Amino acid sequence: MTDTSLLKDNNFFRFFSGQILSTFAFQMLSVGIGWQMYDLTGSALSLGLVGLAQFLPQLLLTLVVGHIADQYNRLTIILACRALMALTVLTLAIGNLYHQMTPHLIYGCAIALGISRSFEMPALQALVPNLVPSNRLASAMALMASAREAMVIAGPAIGGFIYLLGPDVLYASSTLCFVLSGLFLYRLHYNHTVKAKAPVTLTYLLGGLTYIRRNPVVMGSISLDMFAVLLGGATALLPIVAKDILETGPWGLGILRSAPALGAVVMSIYLARRPLKRNVGKIMLRAVAIFGVATIVFGLSTNLYLSVFALFMLGMADMISVVIRSTLVQLETPDEMRGRVSAANSIFIGSSNQLGEFESGVTAALFGTVPAIVIGGVGTLVVVGIWTFIFPSLAQRDTMEAHITNKANTST
C-alpha cells in the first residue's frame, strides 16, 4: 500500500493538505470554465483558446520562474501564487453573480491562472525534496500522486453537480478551497537556504534545459510524456463530447473528467503494492502506446459507458508514464538546480496540457471533434514508434536504481 506514515509528520501533513485542497479547487474550476465557455460561444476553438491562454504565460516565463525558485524562498512564492489564484477565481464568481460573464473575462482569468501556475509549479516541485528525507522521496511522490488523482476524480464530479446550483456557487467554492490551501501552507515550517547567489546569466537560466538535454534517459522520458499529452489532449473537447455526442449534462461532463483520474488512482495503488523493478523503459513506451489506443477508442465512441472506460484506461496508462518520469527527474537533479529543472519540466509536461487543449480545439474546429481526437491518438502511437529508435537508452532502461547507482559510481 501507499506509505501513509509520512502523514504523521505535521510539516508534511500541512503540505499534503494544502495540495489536496488546491488540486480539488482547480479541478472543480476546470469543469466550470469549460462548460460555461462552451455555453457562451458554442465553439470548439474557444475551448482551445482557454488552454492557449494558460499556456503562453508558462512558455514566456519558463526561464525566469526557474531562477526565482532557486534563488528565493519557495514557500513564499507558492503562497503568493495561491493568493493570486483565489483572487482570480473570486473575479469569476463576482462576474457570474452580477451577470457580467463574457468570453474575454474567462480568457483574462485563464491568463492570470497561467501566470500563477508558472511561478508555482517549479517552486512546488523543488520544495518536496526539502520536506522529506531522500530515501523516502519516492514514497512521498507516490502518496502525493495518489492524493492528487483522487482529487482529480472528486473535483470534476462534485464540480459538475455544484455547477447545477449556479456557476457562481462553483467559483465561490473553488475560491474558498484556494484560501484554505494557502492557510495550511502558511503554517509550514521551511527554511530555504541558497548555497550561493549565482549571477543571472543566460547560461545559468538555461541550466535546466541544458541538464535535461544532456541526459538522454530523462530527455527521452520527458519528451515522450510531453508528446503523449500534447497529441492526446482530448480533455479540452469533453464539453463538446458530453453535450453534442453523448447528449449528457454537466454531471456527465464531471464523470468523464473524473474517469482518467480514477484509472490513475487504481494504477498508483497497484504500483505502490508492486513497484516497477525491471524493464521500466519498455514499460513506459508500452504505457504511452496504450494511452494512444485508448484515445482512439474514446474518439470513436458514442456510448457513455465505453467513453468512461476508454478514459479510465487512458488514466491508468498515463500514471505509469508519470511515475517513471517524475522519479527519474527528482532523484537525478541536485537541489541547487531543482527549480530550473522543474521549470523546464513544467514547460515540457505541465504546459503541454494547455497546449494540447489548444491543439485539440483548433483541430476540432478544422476537421470536427471525432477526427481531432482520433488524429491525436494515432499521432501518439507514431511518436512511440519514433522514440523507440531515437532514444534507445530509454527503451533499454532496466531499473531506476541501476541508473542512480551508475551515476554515483561515475562521479566518484
Grid coordinates 474514446 are at which residue? 298
Report pTM: 0.69
Q: Going from the N-terminus, what domains does the chain have, and what CATH number goes with each?
A: 8-189+199-411 (1.20.1250.20)
CA 216, 142, 170, 364: dihedral to nearest 10 degrees? Answer: 30
Q: Which residues of the chain have pLDDT under 50?
A: 1, 402-412
Residue 153's alpha-carbon distances to 20, 161, 262, in angstroms, are: 12, 13, 6
E strand or H helix at 239: helix 238-240
Q: Which of 16, 129, 26 is nearest to 84 (CA)?
A: 26
The span from the CA of 193 to the CA of 372, in Å, is 48
Look at residue 402 in the predicted model and tell me its pLDDT: 46
The span from the CA of 119 to the CA of 65, in Å, is 5
359: helix, coil or strand? helix
How do residues 211-231 score in pLDDT, each as one tens digit?
777 777 778 878 888 888 778
Asked if 309 contacts 293 with a C-beta cutoff of 8 angstroms, the reply is no
CA 37, 38, 44, 49: dihedral to nearest 10 degrees? Answer: 0
Burial class (CB within 10 angstroms; exposed 0-12, middle 13-18, buried 19+) of 5: exposed
Asked if 276 contacts 324 with a C-beta cutoff of 8 angstroms, the reply is yes
Q: How far is CA 173 from the centre of its chain?
A: 21
Look at residue 403 in the predicted model and tell me its pLDDT: 42
Angle, in degrees to the nearest 10, between helices 10-41 and 44-60: 140
The span from the CA of 310 to the CA of 298, in Å, is 5
Look at residue 405 in the predicted model and tell me its pLDDT: 41
Look at residue 203 in the predicted model and tell me its pLDDT: 66
Grid coordinates 466550470 are at which residue? 32
Asked if 265 contacts 282 with a C-beta cutoff of 8 angstroms, the reply is no
Look at residue 409 in the predicted model and tell me its pLDDT: 38
Asked if 139 contacts 201 with a C-beta cutoff of 8 angstroms, the reply is no
E strand or H helix at 73: none
Q: Which of 223, 199, 181, 213 is nearest to 83 (CA)?
A: 181
Cα end-to-end distance, the chain, whole Å: 36
238: helix, coil or strand? helix
Residue 112 has which C-alpha cell?
A: 492570470
Angle, in degrees to the nearest 10, between helices 280-300 and 216-231: 10
Contacts of 329 (CB under 8 A, 6+ apart): 218, 222, 341, 342, 345
Q: What is the DSSP string of 91-141?
A: HHHHHHHTT---HHHHHHHHHHHHHHHHHHHHHHHHHGGGTS-GGGHHHHH
